[in-house]
């Protein structure tokens, strides 16, 4: 067996990408925006629902930034954000000069805790500042406690930006992730469920919001023949070439979700008999995960040198890439000074957690190599 590197999360091509890119080249449509972008947006819109308006952008991060702008978040405002996430969820809060307020996870879904969310909202209001928005995350594709969280947000009348970057294809009670908040965002980075090489999308629920998003994403040009601007603009629109890759990739969406889910059940079988390992999975059948990344918690056994970092090193020795969970935002040097509400749940998950190879391109041979490392490490 060869020893080529197994990566954590790669997508696979449908073979149609080339055709769409070629068309963009032939028609010399190489700008941001264009026919591929419109087509890609329409295909996504069909995938979601008629009430969802999709704006294709150059990254998921830009989509979060635009959502904050559209919600009127300004310097000095406070924005609540789930602490256990990738830094791209929180960075745009700083772009606006606003203040992130971090909220812990709960142990069932590893996502934002309803209990600490409400504590945080009440305390911020008491301190004189009602949060302007809440950024929630469906971590590794697993939906958060949608009903609890949205009920709290509604009670205090605070809009939600649903970071669905990792959750394209996931749903809660049959409704797709990305459509619960005032805004949802997707990412088409190279490691996500489908890719445009680099790209993202903003999901909104009105044509007006979509038009406003495009306005900001294309340098805020006023209606005039000459270039006139009355607002700060951004260069955030998706390019027609990247959208071509997306059109090829979207043909793979169902396939990629099934492949990632099959990998999840491969891990489930494998870890069933290993007592000190817990596989991250959905709470019950209301939750449907694309299982973008599989993660486990390893309960350390001191005398056997068993812990998540040693497991990662064992994988590394076999040229297999694994990674710790996202380091919680409130522990990051850049975010440490900001308020945090919680009880160290995310910290504990971070200490014991490990993400395992989950790409939709994993082969049978790759899985045999992964299984070998696990069996040897846990000695069964
Ligand atoms: C990937 C990711 C993003 C950002 O997406 P980009 O397209 O890379 O900018 C945001 N949030 C989460 C949780 C992500 O995993």
Q: For ligand 1, is residue 162 a contact (CB within 6 Å)?
A: no
Domain co-membership, 260 together with 216: no
- Whether 272 maps to a domain, the answer reads yes
CA 61 to chain CA centroid, Å, is 10
Q: For ligand 1, is residue 99 a contact (CB within 6 Å)?
A: no
What are the distances in angstroms from CA 173 to CA 50, 83, 148, 167, 219? 18, 25, 13, 14, 39
Helix (H, G, I), strand (E, B) or coil at 355: strand
Domain co-membership, 197 together with 221: yes
Helix (H, G, I), strand (E, B) or coil at 1: coil
- Whether 8 maps to a domain, the answer reads no
What are the distances in angstroms from CA 262 to CA 167, 294, 366, 367? 16, 11, 14, 11
Q: For ligand 1, is residue 88 a contact (CB within 6 Å)?
A: yes
- Whether 191 maps to a domain, the answer reads yes
Domain co-membership, 196 together with 278: no
**229 CB-near residues (< 8 Å, 6+ apart):** 219, 220, 221, 222
Going residue by residue through the chain (380 aa), what tens digit of pLDDT does each one get? 578 999 999 878 889 999 999 999 999 999 898 999 999 999 999 999 888 999 999 999 999 999 999 999 999 999 999 999 999 999 999 999 999 999 999 999 999 999 999 999 999 999 999 999 999 999 999 999 999 999 999 999 999 999 999 999 999 999 999 999 999 999 999 999 999 999 999 999 999 999 999 999 999 988 888 888 889 999 999 999 999 999 999 999 999 999 999 999 999 999 999 999 999 999 999 999 999 999 999 999 999 999 999 999 999 999 999 999 999 999 999 999 999 999 999 999 999 999 999 999 999 999 999 999 999 999 86
Domain co-membership, 360 together with 313: yes
* Angstrom distance (rounded) from CA 203 to CA 35: 19
The number of the ligand 1 atom at minimal distance from the alpha carbon of 137 is 13
What are the distances in angstroms from CA 123 to CA 126, 214, 309, 313, 340? 5, 36, 37, 42, 11
Domain co-membership, 229 together with 266: no
Domain co-membership, 261 together with 234: no
Domain co-membership, 167 together with 57: yes
Residues 176, 170 contacting (CB under 8 angstroms): yes
Token code pair at residue 68? 């904050």
Nearest CA to ligand 1 atom 14: 165
Instruction: Just list the catalytic residues.
Output: 192
CATH number for the domain spanning 316: value is: 3.90.1150.10
Which of 83, 138, 163 to mutate to test ligand 1, by most ligand atoms within 8 A of the CB atom?
163
DSSP state, residue 88: G
Residues 124, 101 contacting (CB under 8 angstroms): yes
Q: For ligand 1, is residue 189 a contact (CB within 6 Å)?
A: yes
CATH number for the domain spanning 247: value is: 3.40.640.10
**75 CB-near residues (< 8 Å, 6+ apart):** 96, 97, 98
The number of the ligand 1 atom at minimal distance from the alpha carbon of 88 is 10
Domain co-membership, 240 together with 334: no
CA 49–ligand 1 middle distance (angstroms): 22
- Whether 45 maps to a domain, the answer reads yes
- Whether 6 maps to a domain, the answer reads no
CA 302–ligand 1 middle distance (angstroms): 35
Among 252, 272, 302, the domain boundary falls at 252
Token code pair at residue 170? 């996931």
Q: For ligand 1, is residue 142 a contact (CB within 6 Å)?
A: no
- Whether 307 maps to a domain, the answer reads yes
Nearest CA to ligand 1 atom 5: 60
CA 199–ligand 1 middle distance (angstroms): 9
Domain co-membership, 38 together with 79: yes
Q: For ligand 1, is residue 89 a contact (CB within 6 Å)?
A: yes
Amino acid 50: pLDDT: 81
Q: Give the phi and the psi of residue 86 in degrees, each rounded to 5.
A: -80, 145
- Whether 12 maps to a domain, the answer reads no
Looking at the structure of the chain, the number of domains it has is: 2
Domain that holds residue 291: 253-378
Domain co-membership, 134 together with 150: yes
Taking the model in full, what pTM does it have? 0.96
Among 93, 72, 191, 177, smallest CA distance to 135 is for 93
CA 96–ligand 1 middle distance (angstroms): 18
Token code pair at residue 354? 């490990």
- Whether 10 maps to a domain, the answer reads no
Domain co-membership, 178 together with 261: no
Across 62-75, b (16+ Cβ under 10 Å) vs e yields bbbbbbbbbbebee
Q: For ligand 1, is residue 266 a contact (CB within 6 Å)?
A: no
Among 252, 270, 288, the domain boundary falls at 252
Among 252, 283, 307, the domain boundary falls at 252
Domain co-membership, 170 together with 211: yes
Among 25, 14, 48, 46, smallest CA distance to 246 is for 14
């Amino acid at each position: 067996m060869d020893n080529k590197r197994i990566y954590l999360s790669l997508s696979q091509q449908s073979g149609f990408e080339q055709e769409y890119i070629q068309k963009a080249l032939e028609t010399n449509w190489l700008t941001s925006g264009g026919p591929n972008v419109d087509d890609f947006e329409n295909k996504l819109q069909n995938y979601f629902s008629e009430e969802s308006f999709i704006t294709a952008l150059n990254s998921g991060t830009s989509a979060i930034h635009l959502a904050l702008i559209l919600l009127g978040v300004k310097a000095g405002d406070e924005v609540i954000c789930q602490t256990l996430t990738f830094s791209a969820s929180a960075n745009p809060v700083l772009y606006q000069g606003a203040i992130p307020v971090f909220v812990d996870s709960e142990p069932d879904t590893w996502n934002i805790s309803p209990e600490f969310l409400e504590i945080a909202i009440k305390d911020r209001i008491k301190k004189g500042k009602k949060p302007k928005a809440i950024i929630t995350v469906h971590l590794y594709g697993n939906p958060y406690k949608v009903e609890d969280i949205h009920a709290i947000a509604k009670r205090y009348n605070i809009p939600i930006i649903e970071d669905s970057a990792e959750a394209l294809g996931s749903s809660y009670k049959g409704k797709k992730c990305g459509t619960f908040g005032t805004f949802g965002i997707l990412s088409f980075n190279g490691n996500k469920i489908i890719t445009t090489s680099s790209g993202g999308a903003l999901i909104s629920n009105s044509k007006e919001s979509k038009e406003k998003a495009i306005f900001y994403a294309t340098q805020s040009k006023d209606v005039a023949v000459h270039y006139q601007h009355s607002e700060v603009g951004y260069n955030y629109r998706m390019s027609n070439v990247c959208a071509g890759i997306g059109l090829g990739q979207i043909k793979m969406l169902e396939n990629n979700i099934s492949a990632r889910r099959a990998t999840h059940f491969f891990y489930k079988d494998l870890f069933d008999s290993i007592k000190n390992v817990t596989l991250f999975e959905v709470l019950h059948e209301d939750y449907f995960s694309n299982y973008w990344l599989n993660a486990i918690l390893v309960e350390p056994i001191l005398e056997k040198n068993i812990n998540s970092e040693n497991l990662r090193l064992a994988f590394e020795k076999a040229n297999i890439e694994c990674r710790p969970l996202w380091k919680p935002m409130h522990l990051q040097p850049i975010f440490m000074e900001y308020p945090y509400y919680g009880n160290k749940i995310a910290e504990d998950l971070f200490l014991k957690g490990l993400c395992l190879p989950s790409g939709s391109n994993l082969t049978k041979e790759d899985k045999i190599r992964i299984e070998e490392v696990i069996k040897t490490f846990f000695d069964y």
